[in-house]
Amino acid sequence: MKVTRFPIAILVALSFLIVPPTVARAEWFGDIYLGVASTEDSEIFRATLGASSTERHSFDSSFIIGLRVGKWLENAPWLGLAIDYSIFSTNIDYRDVFISPISFLAMVRMQLMESAEFPRGRLQPYFCAGPALFYSELNSFSPAPWGPLEKTGDFDTSIDFGLDLRVGLTWGITHNLALFGEYRFSTFKTEFGEDIYGMWENLKTELTTHHGLAGISYRF
């Protein structure tokens, strides 16, 4: 397993746990969402037995599922903090890549259409940005002569530091319940190594993904 910039990311994560007493009465929320993740074409660097090559690769799209918890601050209700976890996948040749990012987000929102039932606004455009830890797992398969895929190498994992940007729109259904739609942009560089039939191969690439998400939010 490869870990890059892990201590920096841990410090960022701990910073989200330090909340001044003045914001203790914040507006908490929990979100769950589904969507589609589409990864851009990218260069893949390969190194095997001293030989190396670079080629352009197209990645498969996949479904994504995730959840997010956070708070809008009491003294600055337009500003929030959140932690987000999601799962999606892609592939490199016959290699499945499963990706599970944990994102630490700063959030800003507009509060439109305020009323007695929706004192923070029924319509809330918002923007999120922050660092993310991307846990990736590579599994190697190849087509056997008789048809089905068979595993040909040990899986490898990688933890990498990347970026997560989002823009979305929330619509209140009740005082506590809302629906939202969201566009997400994520990017990180990763590297895998694996033993395939006795040959060690290294793969390096950058995974830049566009996500279309829809979900439900509960405020408390």
- Other CB atoms within 10 A of residue 73 CB: 19
95 or 185, which is more confident: 185
- Supply the pLDDT for residue 132: 98
Least confident of 49-58, 157-166, 191-200: 191-200
Mean pLDDT score across all residues of the chain: 84
Q: Please compute the mean of the pLDDT values over residues 73-87 and round it to a whole number.
A: 96
- Supply the pLDDT for residue 196: 60
State the residue for tokens 């933890």: 159
Contact 182, 171 (CB under 8 A): no
pTM across the whole model: 0.81
pLDDT of residue 63 exceeding 90, the answer is yes
State how far the Cα of 175 lies from the Cα of 91, in Å rounded to an integer: 42
Q: Is residue 20 part of a domain?
A: no
**Percentage of the chain lying above the pLDDT 70 cut:** 78
Q: Is residue 86 part of a domain?
A: yes
State the residue for tokens 């190594």: 193
State how far the Cα of 25 lies from the Cα of 83, in Å rounded to an integer: 18
How does pLDDT run across 148-166, given as a tens digit for each residue? 444 445 578 899 999 999 9
Each as own residue / partner, the long-range contacts of residues 197-201 (CB below 8 Å, 24 or more positions apart, any chain) are 197/152, 197/153, 199/48, 199/49, 200/48, 200/49, 201/46, 201/47, 201/48
47 or 159, which is more confident: 159
State how far the Cα of 109 lies from the Cα of 128, in Å rounded to an integer: 9
Tell me, what CATH number does 87's domain have?
2.40.160.20
Least confident of 7-11, 137-141, 181-185: 7-11
> Kind of pairing, strands 123-143 and 51-57?
unpaired
143 band by pLDDT with thresholds 50, 70 and 90: very low
- Supply the pLDDT for residue 110: 97
The Cα angle at residue 210 between residues 212 and 176, in degrees rounded to 5: 35
- String of DSSP letters for 146-189: TSSEEEEEEEEEEEEEEEEEEEEEEEESSSSEEEEEEEEEEEEE
pLDDT of residue 92 exceeding 90, the answer is no
State the residue range of the domain holding 130. Answer: 2-11+28-219
- Supply the pLDDT for residue 186: 98
Write the CA distances from 179 to 22, 63, 90, 99, 124, integer angstroms: 29, 19, 27, 25, 10
- Supply the pLDDT for residue 123: 97
Q: Is residue 16 part of a domain?
A: no
- Supply the pLDDT for residue 197: 60
How does pLDDT run across 3-39, given as a tens digit for each residue? 544 444 444 444 444 445 444 457 999 999 999 999 9
Question: Number of folded domains in the chain?
Answer: 1
Tokens of 123: 């319509």
- Supply the pLDDT for residue 154: 57
Q: Is residue 98 part of a domain?
A: yes
Q: Is residue 7 part of a domain?
A: yes
Q: Is residue 17 part of a domain?
A: no
Tokens of 5: 């910039």
Contact 204, 189 (CB under 8 A): yes
Tokens of 184: 């997400």
Q: Is residue 100 part of a domain?
A: yes
60 or 122, which is more confident: 122
Q: Is residue 22 part of a domain?
A: no
54 band by pLDDT with thresholds 50, 70 and 90: confident
